[in-house]
Structure 1
Amino acid sequence: MSDPSSGAGANAELREFLRSRRARITPEEAGLPVQPGIRRVPGLRREEVAQLAGVSVDYYVRLERGRSVNVSQTVLDALARALRLNDTERSHLSDVARPTRGRSRPMPPQRVRPGLYRVLDLLSETPALILGCRNDVLAANKMARALYTDFDALPYRERNMVRFMFLDEAARGLYVDWESAARGTVAGLHLYAGRHPDDARLAELVGELSLRDRDFRRWWADHDVHRRTYGAKDYHHPLVGDLTLDYETFRSDGDPDQVLGIHTAEPGSSSEQALRLLAAWAGEAPSGPRVAGLDSSDTT
């Protein structure tokens, strides 16, 4: 997160993102001639990025230092080409280069529409959950709670998938490739941070995780960004064993920071059989709310 005390007009997110992107590209990869001598920095030098983007060195240095400059979309596009950014990184660069900043403040409350609660209620044999700002778990059906953890039993502020990933020991055993899943979660949180740099609870979350988990601290400093809308993950569940689940995410038109995620298994596969066993176990669980309702205005 940016540090408001770092000076008027300073933009730490922009500074660190540009530094991290140029550090990963060699002059050879950028098509530049190899200069004699020992290079003191990994990747491209500032003047080389300026040359590739067609801007003055002074302008790029001020930009990378996070100083307030009027950045045009043309310049951002040129930097994106020079740094070989993908579409997600391009979007993030625009967010952090021209943020709307103010006093750190809480985000407005997020509430799940009744129709979405009913969707979760109907998905009785497949895990489904609704994530909000900062990957807060706004709602989860019984299958999602059986797959991950009982979010209903957690205090309000702990109902968060990033916290589950890094602070719950069960998560490291649940994901077969925990590192890949965890790094993807951090990259998604960074993308959110670019859109909401003044989210006070995000700053609290990043600060706490940085103090408590070395892996999170290291990967957050990488400034990678990634948007996962579908894919597959391998799990090793303590009750039903190994299963591979495909996931699809659907973003709400009314609230772009509210996402419905659904997990499915390939028909006829051992993973489908494992899901059926999990559904049978979840059906025998003690009765209670079918979703882990969460209102971000709650402070308990």
Structure 2
Amino acid sequence: MTNRFDLNEGASRLGSFLRDRRQRLDPAALGFGGRRRTPGLRREEVAQRANISATWYTWLEQGRGGAPSPRVLDSLAKALMMTEAEREHLFLVAIGRPPKAHVAGRGGISWRLQRFLDAMPTIPATVATSTWDIVGWNRAAQLALTNYEQLPPDERNILRRMFLDPATRAAQVDWEEVARFLVATFRTESTRAGENHRAADLIAELSAKSEDFARMWIENDVHTTGEGAKTIRHAEVGEISFEFSSFAIDGRPDLKMMIYNPAGDRDLEKIRLLCSLDQVDCNQSDFET
């Protein structure tokens, strides 16, 4: 049986949620003065911050304002200083669907997530944005995949490297399959993220510089990152096969973590050999040091 969004119930829950979040804010901290009989901002102050009518905002809290648009919901989330989890809840109770993910910048990841990556000394792992910018990695990924640390931030983009860097292309045992997968997941995730200047610029650049990308892009294939298998040619240890899986990062819908598990014992030994060549102890992770 299909679940249907109940507008009346949603309006009631929306009003309650807005009222609760409004009453939690500190007026003085937000530049509002005056004596108050109740905690939090006044309704007209929230409306002012969200650039909407005070009357309409009052109706929303009373459960009779009608379904607001995603743009208005985003304005309310900012006006009420909501966290990403609160913003998602706001959309779900108001219109029955989650918001489009905020697009990540390329400023890195939290130290806790980095410690998690480093706790896998023989399993390459990366964190990427919806446009395939690599913003986090562990040492195994540096040794087996790409030494991202030596690259400028703008060159840590997997799509750009796959289509414009001959060495990256030559390292793929089945370049066509890998490239199609990247383009299809890029289309899916950039569409999910909504309007994104980074994605638009990347599409324009790659379409102009790579006939292969332009050919694949107009085919309109879509794919989720999910899981799969790939084999690369490594300059020092030869072919390495991986089974990869993608994981969402809670609280950061704009990011995905990719885990590349060595497919067999021989592949694992090659990772360990790379560690030894780099004088890294693969039996001890950075997490433990």
TM > 0.5: yes
Match of 1:152 in 2: 149
Match of 1:136 in 2: 133
2:206 to 192, 202, 209: 209
Partners of 1:188 and 1:136 in 2: how far apart? 13
Q: Give, in angstroms, the shift of residue 165 of structure 1.
A: 1.1
- Structure 1 stretches lacking a partner, 5+ long: 1-99, 285-289, 291-300
Match of 1:168 in 2: 165
Q: Report the residue type matching 1:123 in the other structure.
A: M
- Structure 2 stretches lacking a partner, 5+ long: 1-98, 281-285
Match of 2:228 in 1: 231
CA RMSD, Structure 1 to Structure 2 (Å): 2.3
8 Å contact kept, 1:143–1:282 = no
Partners of 2:203 and 2:268 in 1: how far apart? 36
Match of 1:74 in 2: none
1:187 to 184, 187, 192: 184
Q: Report the residue type matching 1:255 in the other structure.
A: R
Q: Secondary structure at the match of 2:135?
A: strand
- Superposed CA deviations along residues 90-124 of structure 1, whole A, max 9, x for unmatched, are xxxxxxxxxx99xxxx9454652221110112111
TM-score (norm 2): 0.58
CA pair 248-194 structure 1, distance change in 2 beyond 3 A? same
Q: Report the residue type matching 1:159 in the other structure.
A: R
Aligned pair count reads 182
1:258 to 249, 255, 258: 255
8 Å contact kept, 1:266–1:272 = yes
Match of 1:178 in 2: 175
CA pair 108-283 structure 1, distance change in 2 beyond 3 A? same
Match of 2:276 in 1: 280
Q: Give, in angstroms, the shift of residue 275 of structure 1.
A: 1.6
Partners of 1:253 and 1:108 in 2: how far apart? 14
Match of 1:67 in 2: none
Q: Secondary structure at the match of 1:187?
A: helix
Partners of 1:263 and 1:214 in 2: how far apart? 29
Q: Report the residue type matching 1:146 in the other structure.
A: L
Which of the two has higher C-alpha Rg?
Answer: 2
Match of 2:51 in 1: none
Q: Give, in angstroms, the shift of residue 283 of structure 1.
A: 3.7
8 Å contact kept, 2:131–2:189 = yes
8 Å contact kept, 1:142–1:282 = no
TM-score (norm 1): 0.56
Partners of 2:221 and 2:139 in 1: how far apart? 33
Partners of 1:205 and 1:282 in 2: how far apart? 34
Q: Secondary structure at the match of 1:243?
A: strand
Q: Give, in angstroms, the shift of residue 191 of structure 1.
A: 0.5
Q: Give, in angstroms, the shift of residue 133 of structure 1.
A: 2.9
